[in-house]
């Protein structure tokens, strides 16, 4: 986004935008992430949408026009915005060489990137369900190539940030019969 100054100045984040809105005539008191009504959106996502937007601010501009310009690019970011993954070493017992327990058929170097890919495909659902709050999930799936013929359970802890992050570990689990992303193991699926 760009200010109405001559020459126009690039607006890089929400703080810059709200300061520029106060200088309009009539002034706009500012916007917030919640005004965009996009479940799962974060301040980091909004800052990225602001920096990438080519809208020019002008006197007489309406808040609704601004919100519309930001909402369209913000919604897909809930699904695609990068997050940081952290492996919870509590899961070490589920790999060859670790203490006794349910074991994956392959090592961490193979399994953990695969688990991150599986979780990443559900990131939008997690963000929308958590809606800016820290939340724990169980993601249960069918047999995977590395699960030794058993279904898989992944424990996922979402931290809303900024920046947001996922801490996880998984394990083969023959007792898994409900294959969903849920707030509790075997519980009801969260909304899409």
CA distance linking residue 95 with residue 181, whole number of Å: 23
% of the chain beyond a pLDDT of 70: 98
Q: Give the chain's largest Cα–Cα span.
A: 69
| pLDDT at 64 (0 to 100) | 93
pTM to 2 decimals? Answer: 0.84
For 155, which DSSP code?
Answer: E
Identify the segments of the chain with pLDDT beneath 50: none
| pLDDT at 97 (0 to 100) | 81
1: exposed, middle or buried (C-beta count within 10 Å: 0-12, 13-18, 19+)? buried
| pLDDT at 99 (0 to 100) | 67
| pLDDT at 163 (0 to 100) | 86
pLDDT digits (tens, 9 = 90+) for 23-33: 999 999 989 99
pLDDT digits (tens, 9 = 90+) for 11-26: 999 999 999 999 999 9
CA distance linking residue 136 with residue 31, whole number of Å: 30
């Amino acid at each position: 986004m760009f200010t109405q100054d001559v020459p126009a100045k690039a607006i890089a984040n929400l703080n810059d935008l709200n300061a520029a809105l106060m200088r309009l005539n009539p002034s706009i008191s500012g916007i917030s992430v919640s005004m965009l009504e996009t479940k799962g959106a974060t301040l980091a996502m909004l800052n990225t949408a602001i920096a990438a937007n080519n809208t020019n601010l002008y006197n007489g501009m309406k808040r609704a026009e601004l919100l519309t310009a930001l909402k369209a690019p913000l919604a897909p970011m809930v699904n695609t915005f990068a997050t940081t993954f952290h492996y919870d070493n509590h899961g070490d017992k589920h790999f060859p060489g670790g203490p006794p327990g349910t074991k994956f058929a392959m090592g961490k170097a193979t399994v953990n990137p695969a688990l991150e890919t599986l979780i990443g495909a559900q990131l939008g659902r997690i963000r929308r369900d958590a809606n800016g709050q820290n939340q724990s999930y169980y993601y249960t799936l069918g047999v995977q190539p590395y699960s030794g013929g058993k279904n898989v359970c992944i424990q996922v802890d979402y931290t809303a940030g900024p920046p947001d992050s996922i801490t996880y570990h998984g394990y083969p689990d023959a007792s898994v019969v409900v294959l969903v992303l849920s707030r509790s193991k075997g519980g009801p699926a969260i909304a899409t």
